[in-house]
Structure 1
Amino acid sequence: MTPTPLTAALGALLAAALLGPAFDGRSVAVVVAAALLPTLDAVASLAIPGATNALAHNVWIPLALAGLLYWDTALRERSALRERYGWRGVRVGWVALAGFAVAGVAPDLFAEPGVSLLYPVENVYYVVDGLLLFSTQDGVVQTFVSTTADGPGLLPFESTGTTETRAVSTWVNPDGRPGLALGSEREFVVVDAGWQAVVLASAVASLAVRFRPWTRAGTETGPSADEAGEASR
């Protein structure tokens, strides 16, 4: 499972990049919290077998939230979110959804043990792992997607098992199975690769730049009418 600090850092980077004039401490906290929400399925695994990287890591949750957000902000005559929080609420809502899907779910899909994308329709863990290159002899070569993949799942990705056959270990639930396992050693991983340390440092630097007093001074009065209209789209 992706280290929790890395997930938070990715959420912070998305907030710094996408919030625009809606950027402030509260909106960053909302986006980072949304990015961390999928990690709660590790807590659920203490009671629900196979919940880790499945219960909150499937595609159905972000798809449902995206549909609900689009319906409220684009299709309804009066948007509940816009009426209560204005253009800022709409902007933060979409960026928070990106934080949930891109920072919270996607990193686990690209590393062992993968995620159960279609849970609870099926309980197969998928991992998107491979390479993309251009060879002077073979042309374009990619191994991420295979239409001839022989596995238990419906999707054309490598399978690492199912929620029944594989228990995903986390610092909350070391053995990945229901129960507290009080005697087990718990390790809270900050980073487990050099590139992850780079991401953490980048997130800290990005937030430091965005929170500079002279940067915020120009946005405290809020955007103009034209900017507000653009931000709400």
Structure 2
Amino acid sequence: MAPTLVSAAVGALLAAALLGHAFDRRGVAVVVAAAVFPSLDAAASLVVPGATNALLHAVWAPVLVGGLLYWDTVRRPAGASTLRDRFGRRGVRVAWVALASFVVAGIGSALFAGEGAALLYPLEDARYVVRGRLVFSTREGVVQTFLALGAEGPGVLPLERAGGAVADPVASWINPDGRPGLDPGAAREFRFVDGGWQLVIVAAAAATLAVRFRRRGGGGRGGESAATDGEVSR
């Protein structure tokens, strides 16, 4: 599984890019929490066999939550949305971005750059990972292996089996062997980043949030000053 810090960084970038008018400390915190939430299935693996990259990485939770959000915020009559009535337009925006963060940063970090995710757990035990490449060749032009529409191969996405959730459990710092049971004496290693590209993502997320909060704070003070000046002049 991808380091939790990297998932949080991807969630922070999504928050900075998508929150819009809902961008503030609380909104960012919710989106980042959604990004790291799937990693908690590593703790569940102490009790549930094969839970890591499976229990909270399956498609069922985002499909259910997405369906409820769509029904409440889109399909219900105007003025009947529970989420909008309680938290306003800001709450709706934060909820949708948090769902995107859960899928992209939480599940995607394992599906595209990790040991894989058991997308259909517990109906299917297999973990899947997407591997592909996108290159430009002076002889062959653009070459990509992510989409295989109408061609022989693994299908639309190059999903490969990365083992079974129960038969080949994923190790984590909480549960080093990935199997039920707590071993206090086991060697544990908390990974912050696993490579240079992950460090770049973390640094980019930190810089982006710093700039966004600085600009938002400056804009807010400027707006307050302008309003005060207007009141004085009147």
Decide: shared fold, TM above 0.5: yes
Write out aligned runs for 1:199-210 (5 A): 199-210=201-212
Q: Report if aligned partners of 2:128, 2:161 keep a CA contact under 8 Å in 1.
A: yes
Equivalent residue number for residue 106 of structure 1 = 108
Equivalent residue number for residue 18 of structure 2 = 18
Q: Does 1:131 align with 2:133?
A: yes
Equivalent residue number for residue 76 of structure 1 = 76
Q: Encode CA deviations 1:6-34: one digit per residue, 9 max, x unaligned.
A: 11111111111111111111111111111
Write out aligned runs for 1:1-233 (5 A): 1-77=1-77, 78-135=80-137, 141-144=143-146, 147-149=152-154, 157-212=159-214, 213-217=217-221
User: 1:219–1:36: structure 2 CA closer, same or farther, 3 Å change rule?
Assistant: farther
Unaligned runs of 5+ in 1: 150-154, 221-233
Q: Residue 54 of structure 2: SS of its match in structure 1?
A: coil
Question: How far, CA to CA, are the matches of 1:66 and 1:167 in structure 2?
Answer: 28
Could you state the TM-score of these two structures normalised by the residue count of structure 1? Answer: 0.86
Q: What fraction of aligned residue pairs are identical, expressed as a percent?
A: 60
Going by fraction, where is helix more abundant, 1 or 2? 2
Equivalent residue number for residue 227 of structure 1 = none
User: 1:27–1:168: structure 2 CA closer, same or farther, 3 Å change rule?
Assistant: same
Return the offset for 1:215: 3.4
Question: How far, CA to CA, are the matches of 1:18 and 1:118 in structure 2?
Answer: 28
Larger radius of gyration: 2
Q: Report if aligned partners of 2:130, 2:158 keep a CA contact under 8 Å in 1.
A: no
Q: Report if aligned partners of 2:2, 2:114 keep a CA contact under 8 Å in 1.
A: no
Return the offset for 1:156: 5.5
Q: Residue 158 of structure 1: SS of its match in structure 2?
A: strand
| CA-based RMSD | 2.0
Runs of 4+ in 1 over 6 A off after TM superposition: none
Q: Report if aligned partners of 1:53, 1:114 keep a CA contact under 8 Å in 2.
A: yes
Which amino acid letter does the alignment assign opposite residue 215 of structure 1? G
